[in-house]
Amino acid sequence: MSRPLFQFKGGVHPPGHKAESNTRPIHAAPLPKKLVIPLRQHIGNPAKPVVSVGDHVRKGQIIGEADGYISTAVHASSSGIVTAVDLQPVPHVSGLADLCVTIETDGRDEWVAREPLDLGAPPAELRMRLRDLGIVGLGGAVFPSAVKLDPGAAQVCPTLIINGGECEPWITCDDVLMRHFADEILQGVAVMRLLLGSSEILIGIEDNKPEAIAAMQAAAAKLDFAVEIVAVPARYPAGGAKQMIETLTGKQVPSGKLSTDIGIQVFNVGTARALARAACHGEPLISRLVTVTGHVLRPQNFEVLIGTPMHTLITLAGERDGNTGVLMGGPMMGVPMPNLDVPVVKATNCVLVKSKELFPPLPKALPCIRCTRCADACPAELQPQELFRFAKAGDFGRAQEYHLFDCIECGCCSYVCPSHIPLVDFYRYAKSEIWAREKDKRASDLARERHEFRQFRIEREKKEKAEKLAAKAQAKRAELAAGADTATPAAADADANAKKALIAAALARAQAKKDEVAPKNIDNLSPDTRHEIEEIEARRAKIRELARQPLESEEKNS
């Protein structure tokens, strides 16, 4: 009994152009003289360089170690001498440079020591080994696989989906990978099943890839666990993770949630093969399959070392006159390259050379006529015409209210727009502005928190200092009080008597001194004179007595 399939909303049917490259065998790209390996090839923190100029490195040696949980290591793709650790152009539409390690290859291609992973080790240890081997998702998102292989608090992820829906036109690397490496892909699936504890394993492949379906079915028949190979309708963007989940299970990932929240995890077939090479051979992710197609003489797929310049691949495929630009990726979601010296990275699934015949320039964009054809084609069930209006007006808050970040940038809206408006470019612009503003806000919040903490610390130190002084004063008073309590009444009386004696002695000395200065020449005076003197002294005494009495005003005031 075949599995019932479900249909997601929207989607388009652009010309596939698959036959140009999937009919040729896979070729290994030659070892270039120089490899430029970016340290930022994945979502999360970029790797930290651990080599210096002049170091000799061997193939598979770590040149950048993971920085944090959401990060992975970066490795030398071949042996040679490190000639630079500096900023180099990288494959990004901005054309900005990023930190890279440049290796002058020595031609010997010598490996470091490798050993298979111990699959009996604790899951957390296995995940860290995969992080150190640089395993990331090769379906385009390049999310660290060690993080996706952690089922979290649930301990298990019931459903594991392997995505073989290569729906983007021109790209065939996943198709030929499934044809030639089906057994290795399923070895990687076994490791995923082990770490996620999945009981249901589904592999979705578009029905326009019959050879890949047959190869995967033959490989699955050899396994000792059940794997269901499901052919899904070929419709762009059926290969999107959310669309593949809905097609196979009928479930939709809620807005703002992850697929693991509904018990489903999704991996690309290329990721599964890279995981198998890491688990069975101890090989880090240093190469991948890349489709080179479009305006070239021999469109085909190459096994390419990470860090190989893109112009090397175009030369191998046969460069032609009339090149009008190069995309990394397909025509729907690919990004234009600033120049052809940029290196192949883990996210490079296709190098698409354009020409006027294959990709005629779009007519000038016209005003939106609100025909809503974009809304009919949107697989994320958004309102693209409203998002365009808000993004163009700089009303990013309203754009978020209309679920801007649910947009997968598949390009269906731009593809069907009769006004030829590059709608996805407006959505990318709005997202980048929102991210930049949130980054500024986080920096501002952090600065405010630091200031508030500094003020809190100053106040706390003041309070602690005041409390210490108060405690010290309290202790002094307690000490004095304790000393007063310990003195005996007899000793207190003795002190008082001693003070009185000292005061009496001082008064006596003062009286004696006064008597010494009193006039002594009154012995021979007549009685009248003596009487007169006595009257004068009496008046003086009376005046001194009056002077010691308080005035009437002072009595009133008192």
Residue 412 marked as a ligand binder: no
The answer to whether 135 touches 285, Cβ cutoff 8 Å, is yes
Dmax (CA) for the chain in angstroms is 162
Long-range contacts of 173-176 (CB under 8 A, 24+ apart): 173/270, 173/288, 173/289, 173/290, 173/291, 173/301, 173/349, 173/350, 174/268, 174/269, 174/270, 174/289, 174/349, 175/18, 175/22, 175/209, 175/211, 175/212, 176/22, 176/26, 176/289, 176/301
The answer to whether 77 touches 136, Cβ cutoff 8 Å, is no
Reported as half-sphere exposure (CB side, CA atoms, 13 A), residue 60 has a value of 14
Residue 100 marked as a ligand binder: no
Residue 368 marked as a ligand binder: yes
Residue 410 marked as a ligand binder: yes
Residue 417 marked as a ligand binder: yes
220: left (phi over 0), alpha (psi -120 to 50) or beta: alpha
User: How many whole angstroms separate alpha carbon 437 and alpha carbon 174?
Assistant: 37
Residue 407 marked as a ligand binder: yes
Report CA 514 to chain centroid distance, whole Å.
Answer: 98
Residue 413 marked as a ligand binder: yes
SS3 300: strand
Q: How many CB atoms lie within 10 A of CB 315?
A: 13
Q: DSSP readout, 7-62? A: --S--B------HHHHTSPPEEPPPPSEEEEES--SSSSPPEE---TT-EE-BT-E
User: How many whole angstroms separate alpha carbon 263 and alpha carbon 156?
Assistant: 8
User: How many whole angstroms separate alpha carbon 544 and alpha carbon 216?
Assistant: 132
SS3 336: strand
Q: DSSP readout, 47-78? A: PEE---TT-EE-BT-EEEE--SSS---EE-SS
Look up residue 264 and give its DSSP letter: E
Contacts of 353 (CB under 8 A, 6+ apart): 292, 293, 294, 295, 296, 314, 317, 319, 320, 323, 325, 326
Residue 350 marked as a ligand binder: no
Residue ranges of the annotated binding site for [4Fe-4S] cluster are: 368, 371, 374, 378, 407, 410, 413, 417
Residue ranges of the annotated binding site are: 368, 371, 374, 378, 407, 410, 413, 417
